[in-house]
Structure 1
Amino acid sequence: MKRLSGIYRNRCPVNPKSAPEEGWEKLEGSTWVQDGRPDAPRTVYVFTDPNCPYCHQFWTAARPWVESGKVQLRHVMVGVIRQDSPAKAAAILEAKSPEEALAENEHKYGDGGIVPLETISPAVAEKLEHNATLMTELGFSGTPAIVFRKADGSIGQMGGLPQDAALEMILGPK
């Protein structure tokens, strides 16, 4: 079972309008935390900051799809919102089980989330920097930033918190 992927295949900028498949490949090679079954029929990438209230709302809204096995969210962790965001993202990535650490952060979100690390290892700091750079390369300036395959197989992108029909477009039918 693959928890994290730390491979950086290609570091050149991606223009999402001209090369969406290249952007998808870069996401596959980024550092992410699996949320859902590895064999789920739908994969959705979401740039996630541990302090982002809209990321938390998306995580909560996606539970029916994730828990039913229909969707695997891949949280591409970034630390961009608050001063302790990188240390919280690092706490998730460096945990024995990043999946459990992500869930802990979300379950405790109202009480401040996961405890930030006092020191971020250079390796994890580099991964967080690469994730933040990729987020910008794909045209996003905030979180959540979501990349998904549409029903026709093409790649879609959405910044911000999706609701109603947009949520179903991203996650599929309940």
Structure 2
Amino acid sequence: MHDHAPRMMPLRLALPLATGIALAASLPAFAEDWPAPIQTLEQQGLTIHGEFDAPGGLKGYAASVRGQSVAAYLTPDGEHAVVGTLIDAQGRDVSAEPLERLVDGPRNAELWQAMADHHWVRDGDADASRVVYTFSDPNCPYCRKFWQDAQPWVESGDLQIRHLMVGVLKADSPEKAAAILAADDPSAAIAEHYRTGTMPDSEGTDQSEQWVSDNTQLMRDAQLYATPVTFYRNDNGAVHKVMGAPSPDKLRAIMGSDAP
């Protein structure tokens, strides 16, 4: 563990709500267990993580594409698959829980362990019981907003935010991120930067530049393409992800409570 330590909505497939895309089973059967239309989806770029029960005689499949989770449904005849959002009479997405259980949850938990082993800047008390990780770019206005919004919890002593500094938005982002990591007091440096826009006097070092590169590569490997991306644990220990500057409801979820 290392205590150095444009807003984008999650990408979704642009498919009609009700109809999706019907795909004929045009490929021969493979040795895998998935039905032919689901194998066709794999050939088209989806990764299938597991199956789940769905209403109306459909069979659900939890999948991901370009880092985002998506549901596929096999028709009762086993000859076609539909990709998209299936809702019930109350307007609820029936795939939400299966996608969290089969795709997002395991992937987020694995990333949580990887983030702990990278270099990050701590904002808050080192003994704070609640830990949050976020990918931060020094040029990101939404990262600054998240920092500002989180201060009541940080100042209460109950929360520490671990900023993984990355360089993704502008040409000088890696340089600025490396300078913050190389500062005598990185925690004070990031606070001053997000408070006033001021950068530390020190410049980045070869080591801090490598740390920024490692953090940026971790973000890209996780197929995350915008900042901030914030990760937190809920009361059950499950790891969740929030893209962009959190809404008030999402902020309370991240912090685990209302503002102190």
Tell me if TM exceeds 0.5: yes
Counterpart-to-counterpart distance in 1, 2:151 and 2:212: 25
One-letter identity of the residue aligned with 1:43: V
5 Å matches for 1:93-132? 93-109=181-197, 113-114=198-199, 120-132=204-216
Question: Which is richer in strand?
Answer: 2
5 Å matches for 1:48-63? 48-63=136-151
Partner of 1:27: 115
Once the two structures are superposed, residues 114-159 of structure 1 have per-residue CA deviations (whole angstroms, 9 ceiling, x without a partner) of 16866x4322222111101111223311100101101221000111
| Greater relative contact order (Cα < 8 A, sep 6+) | 1
- Does 2:223 align with 1:166? no
Q: Does the Cα contact within 8 Å between 2:179 and 2:205 map onto a contact in 1? A: no
Counterpart-to-counterpart distance in 2, 1:99 and 1:132: 19
Partner of 1:44: 132
Q: Does the Cα contact within 8 Å between 1:45 and 1:73 map onto a contact in 2? A: yes
Q: Secondary structure at the match of 2:192?
A: helix
Deviation of 1:18 after TM superposition, in Å, equals 3.5
5 Å matches for 1:128-139? 128-139=212-223
Q: Percent identity?
A: 39
Q: Does the Cα contact within 8 Å between 1:16 and 1:139 map onto a contact in 2? A: no
Using the size of structure 2 for normalisation, the TM-score is: 0.58
Counterpart-to-counterpart distance in 2, 1:56 and 1:19: 26
Partner of 2:4: 4
Counterpart-to-counterpart distance in 2, 1:154 and 1:67: 25
Aligned with residue 68 of structure 1, among 139, 153, 156? 156
Partner of 2:173: 85
Unmatched 5+ residue regions in structure 1? 6-13
Counterpart-to-counterpart distance in 1, 2:118 and 2:104: 16
Counterpart-to-counterpart distance in 2, 1:81 and 1:153: 32
Question: Which is richer in helix?
Answer: 1
